[in-house]
Amino acid sequence: MGAPDPDFTAAIIEAAVRVARSANAQVIMVYIDAVNDLEKFVASVKKGTEVVFIARDDTDAKLAKAVKAKSVTVPGFNLTRMGQIKMATVMAFSQGLLKGGDTFVFVSGVVGHGLDTLVVMQVGAEYELFQTVDQPKLTEHIRRVVFQRVLNIALQLAHEGREGKAVGAIFVVGDYREVQKYCQQNIINPFHGYTEKQRNILDDAMRDTVKEFASIDGAFIIKGTGVITSAGTTLRGAMAGEELPQGLGSRHSAAANITATTKSVAITVSESTGTVRIWRLGKMITELEKAPRTGEPGPPPPPSGEPG
């Protein structure tokens, strides 16, 4: 048996505070359960730099509130280090805790082994997809809680599959009036005939329903309010988005195309790798990769031409 992994948590947190001061960072993000003395940590951060604790549940969020710090709750999935950073960044931005151009310091590590990685990043223009959430303009806006719920379900599908089998999926959220112009229903719509309240993705009862229908080929079409309008929907006739990275197939192409044509957001789940990708304006703006199991290599890319 090899030597236990060293715990760099305390040193990493101290370094993060120093780097945040040097970089004039607007935000420093850290998992709340990695900090022993929350009040001391908050007090050590330079004035003008916001502390955002990453919470795993409501109890963590309450601890952050007790020391007058902000928090973002992230799903408890085993992601790569960069996956953790991307997930927290997307969630923080969707809640208005980060804005375009902000510099932030993030510390992460492997689940169960403490913190060992410090990253300094600047929020890019690609995250502008959230900037009109509170001030909808010509098209239907996407509620932050709806985006977060869809992303959470996508991650659950990526990590758990359906009845132990891997599944792929695509969710298209928002701009329904335009999106529906490119929709073709090749099967009976399982959501037809139900009230909007009954088919709202914010209803906890809808989680298992969505997972059940994820095995059907086609997309879930969801209004920005969370109402699911259809499943098993084929997307046709949208203009082409940017050229896709090698290995990404029809599912990702559909996501790129529909978001290039409409003011929607698409979230895809790769059946072969379990990678969750977010699409906007015809481009993939971020991808969340599962962390490989201990001793296993990372998943290979999907073969070219497969749905992915």
Instruction: Delineate the domains of the chain, giving CATH numbers in brackets.
Output: 9-130 (3.40.1380.20), 144-288 (3.40.1700.10)
Cβ contact 297:304 at 8 Å: no
| Strand partners of residue 79 | 290
d(CA 144, CA 165): 30
Query: pLDDT tens, 92-103?
Result: 877 778 877 888
In this structure, the strands spanning 283-288 and 219-222 are: unpaired
Q: Please check whether residue 55 is in contact with residue 73, taking contact to mean a CB–CB distance below 8 angstroms.
A: yes
Within 8 A by CB and 6+ apart from 115, the residues are 8, 9, 12, 13, 30, 31, 34, 107, 108, 109
Give residue 137's pLDDT. Answer: 39
How many whole angstroms separate alpha carbon 221 and alpha carbon 171? 6
Give the three-class secondary structure for 295: coil
Q: What angle do CA 190, 151, 115 make, to 5 degrees?
A: 155
Provide the pLDDT for residue 160: 81
DSSP secondary structure letter of residue 272:
T
- E-strand spans in 70-200? 70-73, 103-108, 117-122, 169-173, 183-185
Rounded to 5°, the CA angle 112-114-116 comes to 130
Are the CB atoms for 115 and 108 separated by under 8 Å?
Answer: yes
Residues 168, 197, 137, 238: is their CA dihedral positive or negative?
positive
Instruction: Give the Cα separation of 64 and 68 in Å (integer).
Output: 6
Q: Are 156 and 150 in contact, with CB atoms under 8 Å apart?
A: no
Burial of 28 by CB count in 10 Å (0-12 exposed, 13-18 middle, 19+ buried)? Answer: buried
pLDDT at 115: 78
DSSP state of 165: B
Which portions of the chain are predicted below pLDDT 50? Answer: 1-5, 125-126, 128-139, 294-307
Q: According to the model, what pLDDT value does residue 92 have?
A: 83
Tokens of 164: 């132990």
Residue 78 and residue 207: Cα distance in Å, rounded?
Answer: 20
